[in-house]
């Protein structure tokens, strides 16, 4: 049986992430992991915090903390928020871990052995106002390719073109805003990605079924302009993984650290070693090395489109260049951007809803459902408070919640708090079973293909089918003339609640647990066929009428939240 290795883009350590960050990688990855587990498949779901580089240093200085203490503190905060959103990581690691230090230095040594690392003298931007060399991403200016005036020194976020700081027009320090910059000579190590261009091209061509967004970005970086460029993998910083060749010193590189883009993807692998060290699992190499058993592993990555170049080119270049049998990604699910209410989410301006704030005002399932059912797969999508309110009220409260409430309360009033006996299914029930069978198959196809919006649409249609059946069957009217027939209808409907709980668990896990508890069952088995699934709770099986599954959002709440999250997070 295929085992599923799942990773999502690792969030940077400096601060709490907004909902756009969440839906761009971690939440879809969790959906897929939960679905695969529900189908009885072995899953290893890994994520971590990305802790190196200048942003961590600056954030720590602003917080008045040593950078190591700051990263430890923020890892705890991000872990807690991940739990709050019910992200079911098997391990949530740290790129500053000893395991990542060891693996990063190991890869650097192997790449050097294979002639793929070169020491180069280069002229690097130094800020006199800041008294330091500036990492590429902390130099801003105008992109020479598209004219975007906030391009960074490593990449333009607008056109995604890879840049060097000296390419920028009118460069300035992103730290101080100073234009008092000069270029000084320093030595750094370069990964000779250009030597691996043909290998990467052939590997990408061999991947069938990748999203168009993923392959188009990768191919653009490979072939546009001057093609794939060699890339610096070291920096003049204090915080990071010291430059070494495995266990040996690297002469001339004293006091330097590996560049964050090089060590951060390696943390995916190191996180597996951390998982074992934490006592949560055994034999991480079984997941990551094809010579140690990873041949039956399907590896799926989830990330926003801005991270695609590093994960389709640079990280695979590290793995291929090592000459070792490391598991490479089989499917990379990439996402467009989620925008916010007519503009963009902005961490710097506090515009939009951040993960901690979201959980303050509503439980995780409300957010999970909206985000996943509106995930920006084929194009950018937009969060608006009107759309959020409508989706929650109609999908969760009116369709799913209303069905559960009507069925359980009616049964309690007429038959008591147990599944009623008597009566037989008729044409209405057979028609419902046929529809549910078709929709379940479609739901499974979309989930396997990671077509998240389509899967959410089928799940909602399954909820709707139950409501339509209930409305047409009208057991409250039938009961007056034929209590046995009404009993059969309600018995089916109560079993349908259990099925809803099972199928909905990847999207709304808390509601699923609530419904399972109300049905007094731990049978979370995935439906193999609808007739048997609809008889899993036999006559006489006790249940409890649950509290309101989902409450509606009022107009007053919506308006207040819209004003609160317009900007300037305090």
Query: What pairs with residue 7 in β-bridges?
Result: 46, 301
User: In the block, which residue shows the tokens 């761009």?
Assistant: 24
Residue 131: predicted pLDDT = 82
Euclidean distance between CA atoms 135 and 154, whole angstroms:
9
Count of Cβ atoms closer than 10 Å to residue 398 Cβ: 15
b/e 51-68 (16+ beta carbons within 10 angstroms → b): bbbbbbbebbeeeeeebe
Write out residues in the chain with pLDDT < 50, as ranges: 569-570
3-state secondary structure of 245: strand
Give the CA distances from residue 280 to residues 32, 90, 91, 335, 368, in Å, rounded to whole numbers and listed in that order: 20, 8, 8, 30, 26
Query: What pairs with residue 49 in β-bridges?
Result: 94
Sign of dihedral through CA atoms 523, 528, 532, 534? positive
3-state secondary structure of 169: strand
Which among 268, 271, 262 has a CA at the least distance from the CA of 315?
262
Residue 315 exposure: Cα atoms within 13 Å on the Cβ side: 23
Euclidean distance between CA atoms 234 and 408, whole angstroms:
63
pTM of model > 0.85: yes
Residue 133: predicted pLDDT = 82
Sign of dihedral through CA atoms 267, 273, 276, 278? negative
Count of Cβ atoms closer than 10 Å to residue 41 Cβ: 14
Euclidean distance between CA atoms 188 and 108, whole angstroms:
13
Q: Which domains does the chain have, with CATH numbers?
A: 389-533 (1.10.730.10)
- Judge contact between 331 and 301, C-beta under 8 A: yes
Q: What DSSP element (H or E) covers 334? A: strand 331-335
Rounded to the nearest angstrom, the gap between the alpha carbon of residue 269 and the centroid of all alpha carbons in its chain is 17
Residue 570: predicted pLDDT = 40
Q: Which residue spans within 146-208 are E strands per DSSP? A: 151-152, 169-173, 181-191
How close are the terminal C-alpha atoms of the chain, in Å?
A: 50
Count of Cβ atoms closer than 10 Å to residue 232 Cβ: 19
- Judge contact between 25 and 302, C-beta under 8 A: yes
Residue 215 has φ and ψ, to the nearest 5°, of -70, -35
Euclidean distance between CA atoms 423 and 379, whole angstroms:
50
Residue 569: predicted pLDDT = 45
Residue 225: predicted pLDDT = 64
Residue 261 has φ and ψ, to the nearest 5°, of -65, -25
- Judge contact between 93 and 270, C-beta under 8 A: yes
Q: What DSSP element (H or E) covers 197? A: helix 197-205
């Amino acid at each position: 049986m295929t085992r599923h290795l799942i990773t999502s883009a690792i969030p940077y350590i400096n601060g709490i992430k907004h909902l756009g960050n969440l839906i761009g990688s971690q939440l879809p990855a969790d959906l897929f992991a939960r679905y695969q587990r529900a189908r009885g498949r072995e899953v290893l779901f890994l994520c971590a915090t990305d802790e190196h580089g200048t942003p961590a240093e600056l954030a720590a200085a602003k917080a008045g903390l040593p950078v190591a203490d700051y990263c430890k503190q923020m890892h705890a905060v991000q872990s807690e928020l991940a739990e709050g959103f019910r992200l079911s990581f098997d391990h949530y690691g740290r790129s500053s871990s000893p395991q990542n230090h060891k693996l990063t230095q190991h890869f650097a040594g192997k790449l050097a052995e294979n002639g793929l690392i070169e020491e180069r003298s280069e002229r690097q931007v130094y800020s006199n106002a800041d008294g330091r060399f500036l990492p590429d991403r902390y130099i801003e200016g105008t992109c020479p390719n598209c004219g975007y005036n906030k391009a960074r020194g490593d990449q333009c976020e607008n056109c995604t073109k890879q840049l060097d700081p000296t390419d920028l027009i009118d460069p300035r320090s992103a730290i101080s805003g100073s234009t008092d910059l000069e270029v000084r000579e320093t030595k750094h190590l370069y990964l000779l990605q250009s030597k691996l261009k043909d290998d990467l091209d052939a590997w990408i061509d061999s991947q069938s079924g990748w999203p168009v967004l993923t392959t188009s970005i990768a191919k653009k970086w490979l072939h546009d302009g001057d093609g794939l460029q060699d890339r610096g993998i070291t920096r003049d910083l204090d915080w990071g993984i010291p430059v070494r060749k495995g266990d040996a010193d690297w002469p001339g590189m004293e006091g330097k650290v590996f560049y964050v883009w090089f060590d951060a993807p390696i943390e995916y692998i190191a996180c597996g070693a951390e998982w074992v060290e934490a006592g949560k699992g055994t034999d991480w190499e079984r997941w990551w090395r094809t010579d140690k058993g990873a041949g039956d592993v399907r590896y799926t990555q989830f990330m926003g489109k801005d991270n695609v170049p590093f994960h389709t080119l640079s990280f695979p270049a590290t793995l291929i260049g090592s000459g070792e049998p490391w598991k490479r990604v089989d499917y990379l699910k990439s996402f467009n951007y989620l925008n916010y209410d007519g503009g963009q989410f902005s961490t710097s301006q506090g515009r939009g809803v951040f993960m901690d704030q979201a959980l303050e005002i509503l439980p995780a399932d409300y957010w999970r459902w909206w985000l996943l059912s509106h995930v920006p797969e084929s194009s950018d999508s937009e969060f608006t408070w009107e759309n959020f309110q409508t989706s929650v009220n109609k999908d969760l409260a009116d369709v799913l919640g209303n069905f559960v409430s009507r069925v359980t309360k009616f049964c309690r009033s007429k038959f008591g708090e147990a599944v009623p006996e008597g009566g037989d299914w008729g044409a209405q029930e057979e028609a419902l079973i046929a529809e549910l069978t078709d929709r379940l198959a479609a739901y499974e196809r979309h989930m396997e293909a990671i077509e998240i919006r389509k899967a959410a649409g089928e799940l909602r249609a399954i909820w709707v089918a139950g409501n339509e059946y209930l409305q047409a069957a009208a057991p409250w009217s039938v009961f007056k003339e034929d209590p046995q027939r009404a009993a059969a209808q309600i018995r089916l409907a109560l079993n349908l609640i259990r099925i809803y709980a099972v199928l909905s668990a990847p999207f709304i896990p808390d509601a699923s647990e609530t419904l399972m508890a109300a049905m007094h069952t731990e049978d979370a088995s995935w439906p193999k066929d609808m007739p048997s699934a609809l008889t899993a709770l036999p006559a006489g099986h006790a249940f409890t009428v649950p509290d309101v599954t989902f409450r509606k959002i009022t107009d007053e709440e919506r308006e207040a939240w819209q004003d609160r999250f317009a900007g300037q997070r305090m």
